[in-house]
C-alpha cells in the first residue's frame, strides 16, 4: 500500500489539482477577457508547448551533460574539468531571462531558439554534478579495482557511475525544476508555454489568468521532480 501511495496516489493528486484548477478557471470566468484567455484549447496548447520545450531541451542536456562530465572526469582532463566546473558555476548565476534574451539577439525568435537556450541553461547542473560525483569516488576504491585487473571502462561503468549516480540524478532533478521555471520565460522569444498565460494575464490585468499559468507551471515542476526522485530511488536500490 505504501509503494502504491508513493507511485500512484501522489502523482494522481497533483494531476487532479491541475485538472481542478483548469476546470474551475475555465468555467468561472470573471469577465469576457478572462473567458477568451482561459479556454481549454488555449490551456492545452500552452501545456503541449511547455512540455515540448522541457522534454526536448532536457533530453539534450542529460545526454550532453553526462557525456561531457564523464569525459572531463578522466585523469588526463582532470584540470581542464576543474576549469570547466568553475565556468559552469559562474554560468549558473546568470539569470535565465538573460540567457533567453542573449540568444534572441543572436538567433531570433521561435520554439527552436527557446529550446536551445533552455538546453544550455539546463546542462550546467547536470555537467557539474556528473563531474563532481565521479571525481568524488574514493581513490582507494579505484586502486582496489585496478588491483583486481579491471580496465578503465569497467571501472567507470561498474564502480564510478553507480557510486556517482545519486549525485548525477540530483543534478538532473535540479535541472528539471530550473527548466520548467525558465520555460515560462520562453514566451518572450516566441517559445509559447505557460508563460503565454502569465504574460497575457499581466497585460490585461487579470489575476485569474496569471494564477492559472503560474499554478500549472508549479504543479508540473513538483510532479516531474517527484517522478525523477522516485526513479532515482528505484535504480539506486537495483544497483
Reported as a single tens digit per residue, the pLDDT across 136-173 is 888 888 888 888 888 888 888 888 888 888 889 888 98
Q: Name all domains of the chain by residue range, CATH numbers in brackets.
A: 2-238 (1.10.3720.10)
Q: Quick one: pLDDT at residue 237?
A: 58
63 pLDDT higher than 90: yes
Dist. CA 74–CA 82, nearest whole Å: 11
Which range among 109-113, 137-141, 207-211, 215-219 shows the weakest confidence by mean pLDDT? 109-113
- For 89-102, how does the pLDDT look when each residue is reduced to its tens digit (9 = 90+)? 776 777 777 777 77
Which range among 3-12, 29-38, 100-109, 118-127 shows the weakest confidence by mean pLDDT? 3-12
Is 79 exposed, middle or buried, given 0-12, 13-18 or 19+ CB atoms closer than 10 A?
Answer: exposed
To the nearest 10°, report the CA torsion of 199, 203, 208, 211: 30
Q: Quick one: pLDDT at residue 4?
A: 61
**Percent of the chain having pLDDT more than 90?**
17
Dist. CA 172–CA 170, nearest whole Å: 5
The average confidence (pLDDT) of the chain is 84
Task: State the pTM of this model.
Answer: 0.85
Q: Dihedral of CA 210/215/217/218: which sign?
A: positive
Amino acid at each position: 500500500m505504501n509503494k502504491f501511495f508513493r507511485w500512484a496516489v501522489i502523482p494522481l493528486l497533483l494531476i487532479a489539482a491541475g485538472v481542478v484548477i483548469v476546470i474551475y478557471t475555465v468555467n468561472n470566468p470573471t469577465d469576457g477577457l478572462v473567458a477568451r484567455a482561459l479556454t481549454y484549447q488555449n490551456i492545452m496548447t500552452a501545456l503541449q508547448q511547455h512540455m515540448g520545450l522541457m522534454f526536448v531541451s532536457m533530453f539534450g542536456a542529460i545526454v550532453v551533460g553526462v557525456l561531457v562530465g564523464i569525459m572531463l572526469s578522466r585523469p588526463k582532463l582532470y584540470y581542464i574539468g576543474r576549469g570547466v566546473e568553475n565556468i559552469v558555476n559562474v554560468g549558473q548565476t546568470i539569470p535565465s531571462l538573460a540567457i533567453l534574451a542573449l540568444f534572441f539577439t543572436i538567433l531570433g525568435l521561435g520554439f527552436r531558439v527557446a529550446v536551445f537556450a533552455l538546453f544550455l541553461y539546463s546542462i550546467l547542473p547536470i555537467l557539474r554534478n556528473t563531474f563532481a560525483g565521479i571525481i568524488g569516488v574514493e581513490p582507494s576504491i579505484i586502486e582496489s579495482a585496478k588491483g583486481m585487473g579491471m580496465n578503465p571502462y569497467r571501472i567507470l561503468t561498474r564502480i564510478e557511475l553507480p557510486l556517482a549516480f545519486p549525485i548525477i540524478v540530483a543534478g538532473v532533478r535540479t535541472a528539471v525544476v530550473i527548466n520548467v521555471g525558465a520555460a515560462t520565460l520562453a514566451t518572450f522569444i516566441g517559445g509559447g508555454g505557460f508563460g503565454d498565460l502569465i504574460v497575457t494575464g499581466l497585460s490585461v490585468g487579470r489575476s485569474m489568468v496569471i494564477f492559472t499559468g503560474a499554478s500549472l507551471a508549479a504543479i508540473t515542476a513538483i510532479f516531474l521532480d517527484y517522478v525523477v526522485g522516485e526513479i532515482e530511488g528505484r535504480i539506486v536500490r537495483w544497483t
